[in-house]
């Protein structure tokens, strides 16, 4: 503990460096557009202050409420599907433990290291062919990309669950689905919440995958809608953009603060056995 003060100061500085851009966006969201560029790093004053005008302007120009609804639908549906399918798959891989299960596990690991740029153009074409260019079709696309990390974490957790507990439940007459959802899932709660947080933050903020996949004439996520604030010749309505960015940040920050205590527990549990 002799050097505890050093680490306290170091991580305090790092924390400030991480949170400063968010505070800068919030500060600039209350300024007139001209002052956002000329007085970027200054706090709003009597001359630059516009109150909530940027927020109302951004909501109106981007149809923010509709974009917010589609983003929530895509995020919640995708995360629930990832958690359900990947937890069952991880349990099957661990408990079956044959060459097929091991091969499938390697494929999930391979999924984590393949760059998205290698598959984005074929993905866009296949999504159009299979009519996956809808918010609910995007659930399946996100399942494919998000299952690798989820299966990797869940297999580590399930390897630490004694098989005797599951066998005792089945001897008592529990079916496999009942045993899985009544015993295995509750024991996986920290890792499930961890994966949910990580996947939610990724999907909520994702721009490229919805842009390549969705029918943008009907559906736009918040990330895509904000881009439409760009005008011709590179002109950007910075005031409205800052307001929309703050509105987009608030839900995911609240969700993270509510559930962040489970992250370390879940990651540690998933690293017990590989």
Alpha carbon distance 199, 146 (integer Å): 7
Question: What are the CB-based long-range contacts (under 8 Å, 24+) for 28-34?
Answer: 28/238, 28/242, 29/54, 29/55, 29/239, 29/242, 29/243, 29/245, 29/246, 30/54, 31/239, 31/242, 32/239, 33/237, 33/238, 33/239
Which residues are 230's β-sheet partners? 236
User: Which residues, at least 6 apart from 266, have a Cβ–Cβ distance to it below 8 Å?
Assistant: 153, 157, 190, 191, 192, 193, 194, 195
CA-nearest of 121, 152, 115, 110 to 267 is: 152
Exposed/middle/buried for residue 228 (C-beta within 10 Å: 0-12, 13-18, 19+): middle
Domains, the chain, with CATH or none: 1-51 (no CATH), 53-270 (1.10.3720.10)
Where residue 273 falls among pLDDT bands split at 50, 70, 90? very low
Alpha carbon distance 225, 229 (integer Å): 8
**Does 267 score more than 80 pLDDT?**
no
Where residue 233 falls among pLDDT bands split at 50, 70, 90? low
Alpha carbon distance 78, 75 (integer Å): 5
- What's the angle, vertex CA 95, arms to CA 156 and CA 154, rounded to 5? 25
121-157 pLDDT per residue, tens: 888 888 888 888 899 999 999 998 999 999 999 998 8
Rounded to 5, what percent of the chain is helix, strand, coil?
Answer: 75, 0, 20
**Does 260 score more than 50 pLDDT?**
yes
Phi, psi for 115 (deg, rounded to 5): -65, 140
190-206 pLDDT per residue, tens: 889 889 988 998 999 99
- What's the angle, vertex CA 122, arms to CA 119 and CA 123, rounded to 5? 75
Alpha carbon distance 14, 187 (integer Å): 34
**C-alpha to C-alpha distances, 223 to 17, 25, 71, 252, nearest whole angstrom:** 24, 15, 9, 13
Supply the pTM of this predicted model: 0.86
Q: Are 87 and 154 in contact (CB under 8 A)?
A: yes
């Amino acid at each position: 503990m002799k050097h505890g003060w050093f680490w306290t100061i170091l991580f305090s500085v790092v924390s400030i460096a991480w949170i400063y851009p968010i505070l800068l966006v919030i500060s600039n969201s209350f300024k007139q557009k001209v002052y956002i560029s000329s007085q970027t790093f200054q706090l709003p004053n009597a001359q630059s202050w516009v109150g909530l005008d940027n927020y109302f302007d951004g909501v109106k120009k981007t149809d923010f409420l509709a974009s917010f609804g589609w983003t929530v639908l895509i995020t919640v549906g995708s995360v629930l599907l990832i958690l359900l399918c990947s937890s069952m798959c991880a349990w099957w891989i661990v408990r079956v433990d044959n060459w097929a299960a091991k091969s499938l596990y390697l494929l999930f690991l391979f999924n984590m290291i393949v760059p998205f740029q290698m598959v984005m153009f074929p993905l866009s074409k296949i999504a159009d062919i299979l009519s996956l260019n809808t918010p609910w079709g995007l659930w399946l696309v996100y399942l494919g990309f998000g299952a690798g990390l989820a299966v990797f974490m869940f297999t580590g957790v399930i390897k630490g669950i004694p098989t005797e507990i599951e066998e005792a439940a089945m001897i008592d007459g529990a079916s496999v689905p009942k045993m899985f959802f009544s015993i295995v899932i509750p024991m996986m709660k920290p890792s499930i919440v961890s994966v949910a947080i990580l996947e939610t933050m990724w999907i909520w903020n994702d721009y490229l995958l919805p842009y390549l996949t969705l029918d943008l004439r009907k559906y736009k996520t918040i990330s895509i809608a904000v881009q439409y604030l760009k005008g011709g010749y590179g002109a950007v309505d910075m005031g409205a953009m800052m307001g929309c960015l703050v509105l987009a940040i608030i839900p995911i920050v609240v969700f993270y603060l509510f559930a962040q205590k489970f992250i370390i527990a879940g990651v540690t549990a998933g690293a017990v056995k590989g």
